[in-house]
Chain A
Amino acid sequence: MIEAPDLPVWAALLVGLLVVGGAAFALIGSLGLLRLRSFYDRVHAPTLGSTLGVALIVTGSMLCFSVLQSKTLVHELMIFILVSLTTPVTLMLLARAALYRDRTSGSGDVPLTDDDASN
């Protein structure tokens, strides 16, 4: 077990809560990837890890190192910004590929064309 002797109790508690909370959201997201039924449903779940999961862990990390080094550190925010800007690209590619596959094979409950009224 690695000890952090310079971290006061209040900070250690808060950092622990934030990191475990973030990890829990990432875990639930991965569980959702396993448990949800269709492809389109599954794609929703990992977003938990890439939004609140990352946000909580990054906040915990910023708090931990800001207290340890006695100065405000915010560069971890870059991780959050870059993750939230790049995940949509992957998710959209996956969704469009799945839609294309389902449309050409005629399987699944997908809207066939872009202009039919409803599915």
Chain B
Amino acid sequence: MKRWIPHPLLAAALFIMWLLLNQSVSPGHVVLGAVVALLASRAMAALRPEPVRLASVTPVLELAGLVLADVIRSNLAVARAVLFPRPRVSGFVRVPLDLTNIHGLTVLSCIVTATPGTLWVQFDRTSGVLLIHVLDLIDEEAWVRLLKTRYEARLLRIFAQ
């Protein structure tokens, strides 16, 4: 199993993507999609990425819901800041992270960047300190707390370290 499908999650995602793009579940596309998924995931194995090990799946939905709500809320906040400018302070915040899993960090960077108002600037792997830029910086501690308790805690539960 492991030898034939080195990255089962990636292969499954590629297979679904193929069927979605072709909008068909005809046998021909199922076979073609399976071939593409197998070949692409084997090509990926040549890059020797760190394998994805999910420790728990339930926090995924929880995290997705939270991120959705946060993205909508911060979209409105940034839109307000652009349309009705008022004095505000923007600046950098340092967040010490406990998360070391590379896939967890990737997801976190997507969340931080996709949320308007926060921007992932730099992550130092040796010290584990993440530098982010915040558009509306009122309380530095609150941002650190938000990132650590809302996102990082759940990512630590999702990805096996």
Mark A residues whose CB is within 8 Å of B: 25, 28-29, 31-32, 35-36, 38, 40-41, 43-45, 47-48, 50-52, 73-75, 77-78, 84-85, 87-88, 91-92, 95-96, 99, 109-111, 114-115, 118-119
Contact = CB atoms under 8 A, between A and B. Distances in A.
Given A78-B20, A111-B92, A114-B129, A95 B117 contact: no
Given A44-B78, A45-B78, A84-B114, A52 B127 contact: no
A75 B117 CA distance: 29
Given A28-B82, A32-B82, A114-B129, A40 B94 contact: no
Please provide the 9 A-B residue pairs with the shortest distance between their CB atoms, ordered closest to farther.
A88-B113, A32-B82, A47-B116, A52-B75, A75-B20, A44-B135, A114-B124, A95-B121, A40-B133
Interface string B76-116: 00110111010000111010000000000000011011111
Contacts of A85: 110
Contact of B79 (A25, A74, A75, A114): A25
B33 to A, nearest CB: 13
Of B21, B122, B133, chain A has the most CB atoms within 10 Å of the CB of: B133
Given A28-B83, A41-B90, A114-B124, A51 B116 contact: yes
Nearest to A28: B79
Contacts of A74: 20
